[in-house]
Amino acid sequence: MNEKNVVAFAVSDSTGKTAKHLMESAVGQFPEHEIKIKTFSFVRSLDRVDEIMKKAKEENAIIAYTFVKNEMRDYLNQAAEKNNLEYIDMMKKPLAMVAGRLNVEPREEFALKYKLDEEYFKRIEAMEFTLKFDDLNESKGIAEADIVLVGVSRTSKTPLSVHLSYLGYKTANVPLVPEVEVHPSVLKDNAEKVVGLTIDPEMLNDIRIERLKKMGLGDDATYAAKERIKEEFEYADSIMEKIGCPIIDVTDKTIEETAVEVLSYFND
């Protein structure tokens, strides 16, 4: 196998998100190379480990894994070393550190269930709220939201709202369109709640052209015209200036990065 064709396995006895995110962060540092990440979730038997290791050997894969059971970790380590495969155990050190501080041994139980506590129900409520008040210029959502996102179309308001709701924040988002008067409740004493989103005009133009193509429309529609985009930005800037809200440039930012910046205004 050509060593430049890198394959990474994210293996877990749960969803595999932690191992996958680690590999994605590493892979992101090599944008010029094509690196595949394959996730193997809910791996809870040694037989399943054997199956995965066979595939890993065939593809000369790098392995990142999270197992809570010592037996599973030891077994995979030995199999990886036997097959000359590189691997990282992402659970051993964190478990050892916490166990050392508490002076107790970990329970080694597969995927302990989330407690149905206040935080859990808060997150569910936030997600339901956010879906209900997506892309609306409406007083109730603005009044009850923890965070209100404003910006022109295609500045990632909806995906960002959904992500923030998963973190437990009721999030409303309001489109800023020159022909539609923004609801007065957005402007009224909401500088501590509203966050404006902006983006590089050239990138927005490209995004809108791609959007039109997917809708089966030509790229000469007013929606993607540079003159129209300029007009929208001028209107949006004037509204955000009236509110006095912070403005985040989402150009080249991931949803997660933008969310961190949004929350920095609320968690001081």
Token pair for residue 261?
Answer: 């910046």
Query: Does residue 156 have a known ligand-binding role?
Result: yes
Query: Does residue 157 have a known ligand-binding role?
Result: yes
Query: Which ranges of 215-254 would DSSP assign to H, the alpha helix?
Result: 226-243
Query: Does residue 25 have a known ligand-binding role?
Result: no
How far, rounded to the nearest angstrom, does the alpha carbon of residue 69 sit from its chain's CA centroid? 28
Q: State the SS3 of 12-50.
A: ECCCCHHHHHHHHHHHCCCCCCCCEEEEECCCCCHHHHH
Query: Does residue 155 have a known ligand-binding role?
Result: yes
Residue 81 burial by Cβ neighbours in a 10 Å radius (0-12, 13-18, 19+): exposed
Query: Does residue 196 have a known ligand-binding role?
Result: no
Nearest to 261 by CA among 135, 123, 149, 185: 149
Query: Does residue 154 have a known ligand-binding role?
Result: yes
Cα separation values, 53 from 48, 50, 76, 247, Å = 9, 5, 8, 48
Report yes or no: 188 and 180 within 8 Å, Cβ to Cβ. Answer: no
Query: Does residue 250 have a known ligand-binding role?
Result: no
Query: Does residue 152 have a known ligand-binding role?
Result: yes
Binding-site annotation, residues: 151-158
Binding-site annotation, residues for ADP: 151-158
